[in-house]
Amino acid sequence: MDVFLIIVNIAVLLVMIGLLIYMQKKHFSFTKRVFTGLGAGIVLGVVLQLIYGADSNVLTQTTDWYSIVGSGYVRLLMMIVVPLVMVSIIQSIINLNKTAEIGKIAGWIIGILVTTAMVAALIGITSAAVFHLDAGQIEAGQAENDRGAMLEDKLGEVQDMSAPQKILSFIPSNIFQDMTGERPTSVIAVVIFSMFVGIAVLGLRRKNPEQAERFTNIINTLYAVVMRIVTLILRLTPFGILALMANTVASTDFAGIMELGKFVIASYAALIVIMIFHLVLVGLFGLNPFQFLRKVIPVLGFAFTSRSSAGTIPLNIQAQKNSLGVDEGIANMSASFGATIGQNGCAGMYPAMLAVMIAPTVGIDPFTPEFLIKLVLIVGISSFGVAGVGGGATFAALIVLSSMGLPVALAGLLISIEALIDMGRTAVNVNDSMVAGVLTGRILKRLDMKKFNDKNAIEKDIAV
């Protein structure tokens, strides 16, 4: 009987995929197909949970099959991240006139990412105060206690790492290891290596133009092939979002959400305010924030469902370059840096909220100027090197809480709602990296305003 029900569930997913294929053939826009997939995934997930229950064997096996589409799509994106980042940045640097431009671009992007992370921390603190969040009011069950013990064990891995050591971890010692994504800072390491290659080619161009030209031709060819692969993968986005959303909703612990509803509401209130802050920043630089939002929504939809900033890098770069008119080099750097630096949701808001919640349990007033200033500064420093995949927020929380002298085990109280909050945090992280790219392009006069203001310039390459 179970096998029959699983086959029926798979058939339902295939029918929905067929609908998305039909929409593609009828030339529905990419955005409409993405949101159709998102909405259909939510409905399918709710129906599956209502029929079978979150803990049923049928649902578990069904989501395993759905993962072939959902998680398979994320794996394809992760597969192309390193080649895309490496070839794109090398090509971008080769096309620069001066190596000094690289420093300007990187400086502005990192500055914006870290500054907005500190503002996000202040927003998280304010939300925690408005909603009167207190970790002492949350009851811990076995799962929460186990999670707390795991966090305490994991603390040893990051507690003794100083700020200089964290910065040192960005520098690659084995680029082939970083190409596998072995370390949390692997993407940054690949960026640094690619920048060295690009700078070397600029130097070679002055001494041996012929060799530099041959290498440039190879890179241009590789870039064309990689971008074609990216286009092919991104066309699968509506299908991936459909399966990812169905799995997420079907396996969500709604009882846990109801129990910790105040924290969920406070978190999403803070995330919405951060998004508004991002749009205000865009407006302050003379750009239409609603135009910006309209063009980034498909990317944010995928970030929301996948919970992976790193996996969103290909979509991020394409949207910045093709929809927003950001210079290619800036788009590549902002998307790559934004996957591990200054993440507003995971490294900014979340650890700040936890610190304010946990401080009263050890007799500390979290609203003294000394505590708040120290917390915001630590958030800014610790926002370097947060892994751009699920779990990065935990890493950031460990660093911040331990630096503030607060018990990390209490962070385990939120395990039942972690996935739900992480969806919103990831979308905000990705939006911040896109804001950094757009603002850097605007500041350095490398933003195509005609393309930014073109309402039809939304992923034309992948909308067919």
| Each residue's pLDDT tens digit, 30-42 | 878 888 998 999 8
SS3 of 166, please? helix
Helix (H) or strand (E) holding 75: helix 57-94
The burial class, CB within 10 Å (0-12 / 13-18 / 19+), for 330 is buried
User: How confident is the model over 52-101, as pLDDT tens digits?
Assistant: 887 788 888 999 999 999 889 888 888 888 888 888 888 878 876 566 67
Beta bridge partners of 384: 341
pLDDT at 161: 58
* pLDDT > 70? residue 341: yes
Residue 153's pLDDT band, with cuts at 50, 70 and 90, is low
* pLDDT > 80? residue 201: yes
CA distances from 340 to 170, 175, 288, 361, 418 (A): 10, 17, 27, 31, 19
SS3 of 384, please? strand
Q: Kindly report the three-state secondary structure assignment for every residue of 339-355.
A: CCECCHHHHHHHHHHHH
DSSP letter assigned to residue 363: T
User: How confident is the model over 93-123, as pLDDT tens digits?
Assistant: 887 656 667 778 888 998 999 999 999 999 9
- Say which amino acid occupies 28: F
Q: Is the pTM of this model over 0.75?
A: yes
How many residues are present in the chain? 464
* pLDDT > 50? residue 144: no
Question: Interior CA angle at 69 toward 80 and 3, to 5°?
Answer: 150
Query: Residue written as tokens 């339902």?
Result: 12
pLDDT at 100: 63
CA distances from 75 to 71, 242, 321, 413 (A): 6, 15, 23, 30
DSSP letter assigned to residue 236: T
108 contacts 285 by C-beta, under 8 angstroms: no
pLDDT at 410: 63
User: Which architecture characterizes domain 2-462 according to CATH?
Assistant: Orthogonal Bundle (1.10)
Domain ranges of the chain: 2-462
